[in-house]
Structure 1
Amino acid sequence: MGKLSGIRVIDLSMFLPGPMLTVMMADQGADVIKVEPAAGDPARTQGPFEDGHSIWFANLNRGKASVVLDLKSEAGKAALADLIRGADVFVEGFRPGVMARLGFGWDDVRALNPRIVYCSISAFGQHGALAHHPAHDMTVQALAGFLSVNDGPDGTPAVPGVPAADVAAGLTGLAAVLMALIGREKTGQGDYIDIAMFDSLLPWGAHIAGSALTGGPSPRSDNQRSLGGAAFYNVYDTEDGRHVVLGGREIKFARALLTALGRPDLIALAEAEAGEAQAPLIAFLRDTFRTRSRDEWDAFMADLDVAYAPVLDFAEAFAQPHIAERGLLCGVHISPAIRFAGETYTPGPVPPLQGDAP
């Protein structure tokens, strides 16, 4: 029995943020019914595939059931209304106003079920100047300021490797839904949650955006301690064209490495302000790391107390013993990060075929 056994979720979301929210609920025993149009969730068609299923789709929709409904038809509307009457949570990821036009806005749904928790997920929220601006993850990251510091040495922003706005919305939405379910135990009433990818991402910049928040200059990656301006929080090339990182700025790490490299005279530079003051130390480390291969640096660092790591690709990352020891993979499924003592995880049933709900 999962922690959310007995909770029924109606999930009208597709792609990434909403399905991430609801698969975390399904992993904990919630009964999640995915409502899809005839064309299905577009993630179903995104390769690569395993046993006929998209691995992306499988990881975000395992353990759910699927119903296919045409919400522009009277039969489809009636079927969705029946599902809502027996549900605890309703999740949708359409543009603002779409659900209301279909007859399933917050007022419509709570009239059918006053106890339901209704969560809308959109790029910029249900109101505001940007509410109707079309966007996926990178658009949100650009408008939230994050892409400006996701840049290379020449200052040009790069396409982000992680869809941080999508993920932030999924995690924030999950927290909000669970809070609302707890609140319902006290009031007996459901709630409405307006989750925006933009809103969810902004707090993730609190550690770097301080100067901009106070009316000062915006952060630049080349002078920020956690964005590339500090020698011991940086990425370095190796002799074989690979990369390693130093990922801890505490002076004990600088002392350990620079002493081992025979340059204790540079330790003081590791305590200087990020940016120009640390440039000589960054230059020394760049030259030094280029003298050996990544594997040779792994061996050199093995006995040193330094926050160091090789930059691994996904195949290398998944092959690490740590992954197996903690049970973080189950076939092609990435195990939930949320696990409870004394409980073991096995993935839910294969991802649903369209319309497989009884």
Structure 2
Amino acid sequence: MNATTGSQTGASSRSSALDGIRVLDLTQVMSGPFCTMMLADLGADVIKVENPAHGDQTRKSWGYSVIGDDSRAFLSLNRNKRSIRIDLKTETGLKQFFELVKTADVVIENFRPGVAARLGIGYDAVRAANPQIVYASISGFGQSGPYASYPGYDLIAQAMTGVMSVMGEPGGRPIKSAIPIADLGAGMFCTIGVLSAIRARDRDGEGQYLETSLFESALAMSVWESTEFWSTGESPEPLGSANRMSAPYQALQTADGYVTVGANNEKLWRLLCKALDAPELIRDKRYADNNARLNHRDELAADLEVHLKHRDTDEWVEILLASGVPAGAIRDYKYVLTHDEHVRAREMVAHLQHPVEGDVAVLGTPIKLHGTPVEIRTAAPLLGQDDDVILTGEHDDLTEPQ
């Protein structure tokens, strides 16, 4: 896939799903840019409004820079967008911003609560300029409540929601999810909220304000952990790779590594024992049903590994899949992003041409709309790349909002 090729096969001639929707993106770092990137992939015209001095924080200070000054972290989250420089602390900057508000459908910000209002660009001011606007705020802990003023970081949200208390191996030091689920979750929930608000506006003719937070997003994903607490009255503990609701459903050791096995119902449990040539496990009362297997999870893993250690991981994957048991090898990102044929077939790696960096690899989209295909069109913009076109209105469609 390249900058001009859609991310799905069988592309339709219809417009993109969000064609005609204009988004003013006041966000930076991860949660907000992830949200606006999804909207841009879906066809929205996302205009990234950046500080003239340094732009998005991730341009210079996060991750790796390869050729130019912009980091690969920034490039990975800001494709399909346009960039303009506006100093929102000046009268000229505010005038430019509100001229754009009149043409926009959505404004998204992830300032700390209260900052947007102090700058004069909060929801009330924006709604006065454009009553149909959908205005979204992402923050660390929400716009209200005792934690509202706390700094919003993924690490802190994972800690304070209980996520870190269940990560890692039993008895180990606290660890966080390597994937920043609070940040990315907030971005996804905000995207859902924005799309819902656009639908409501198109139906009722009224815009609205919406918000989400890193804290609430991480907590909302704690489905099994909250279920365990409400079922037992006890705080869930770390389980390594095991599952809270079924067993065996985890990584198990083989002769040369680990295989993940998902035998999470009675049929699959019996198929697993048959594939392992271990009928004695089916007869073992400790493993008579799912509740019993959960109560003897550690013993079960040890007994399964006695059999699994006789073959290599790839052999077991082949045997288990042929037997109807869900299984997979644990891969690293080098393998996944360069060798995995399924990743290639599903177009989950895209290549874009950047004016400074040249060829830039980015992740594809998991959203496969077959009627209005999602497109990965352009690399992340240079700071202020679109100032002349957008701020002067030259060759730019500054129409009224949809």
Q: Percent identical across equivalent pairs?
A: 37
TM-score under structure 1 normalisation? 0.91
Give the AA of the match of 2:37.
Answer: V
The answer on whether the counterparts of 1:123 and 1:140 sit within 8 Å (CA) in structure 2 is yes
Matched, 1:328 2:360: no
- SS of 2:221's equivalent? helix
- SS of 2:171's equivalent? coil
Residues 1:152 and 1:342: Cα distance change in structure 2 (over 3 Å): same
TM-score under structure 2 normalisation? 0.82
What value does the CA root-mean-square deviation take over the aligned residues?
2.4
Which position in structure 1 is the counterpart of 2:41?
27
Matched, 1:6 2:25: no
Gaps (5+ residues) in structure 1?
none
Residues 1:355 and 1:290: Cα distance change in structure 2 (over 3 Å): same
Which position in structure 1 is the counterpart of 2:259?
244
Which position in structure 1 is the counterpart of 2:333?
314
> What are the Cα deviations for residues 107-164 of structure 1, in whole angstroms up to 9, with x where unaligned?
1111111111100000110110011111311211111111111121324322211111
Residue 347 of structure 1 deviates from its aligned partner by 1.8
Listed as ranges, the matches of 1:173-212 within 5 Å are: 173-212=190-229
Residues 1:51 and 1:344: Cα distance change in structure 2 (over 3 Å): farther
The answer on whether the counterparts of 2:247 and 2:263 sit within 8 Å (CA) in structure 1 is no
The answer on whether the counterparts of 1:21 and 1:173 sit within 8 Å (CA) in structure 2 is yes
Matched, 1:288 2:307: yes
The answer on whether the counterparts of 2:242 and 2:250 sit within 8 Å (CA) in structure 1 is no
Which position in structure 2 is the counterpart of 1:18?
32
The answer on whether the counterparts of 1:335 and 1:345 sit within 8 Å (CA) in structure 2 is no
Which position in structure 1 is the counterpart of 2:358?
none
Residues 1:11 and 1:339: Cα distance change in structure 2 (over 3 Å): same
Residue 176 of structure 1 deviates from its aligned partner by 0.7
Residue 177 of structure 1 deviates from its aligned partner by 0.7
Q: Which has the higher contact order (CA 8 A, sep 6+)?
A: 2
Which position in structure 2 is the counterpart of 1:338?
367
Which position in structure 2 is the counterpart of 1:95?
112
Residue 297 of structure 1 deviates from its aligned partner by 2.7
The answer on whether the counterparts of 1:66 and 1:354 sit within 8 Å (CA) in structure 2 is yes
The answer on whether the counterparts of 2:23 and 2:105 sit within 8 Å (CA) in structure 1 is yes
1-structure distance, mates of 2:344, 2:36: 25
Q: How many residues align?
A: 356
2-structure distance, mates of 1:306, 1:104: 55
The answer on whether the counterparts of 1:223 and 1:230 sit within 8 Å (CA) in structure 2 is no
Per mean C-alpha deviation after superposition, the further-off stretch among 341-350 and 18-27 is 341-350
Give the AA of the match of 1:13.
Answer: T
Residue 6 of structure 1 deviates from its aligned partner by 0.9
2-structure distance, mates of 1:223, 1:39: 41
Give the AA of the match of 1:356.
Answer: Q
Residue 325 of structure 1 deviates from its aligned partner by 1.6
Residue 279 of structure 1 deviates from its aligned partner by 3.1
2-structure distance, mates of 1:184, 1:353: 33
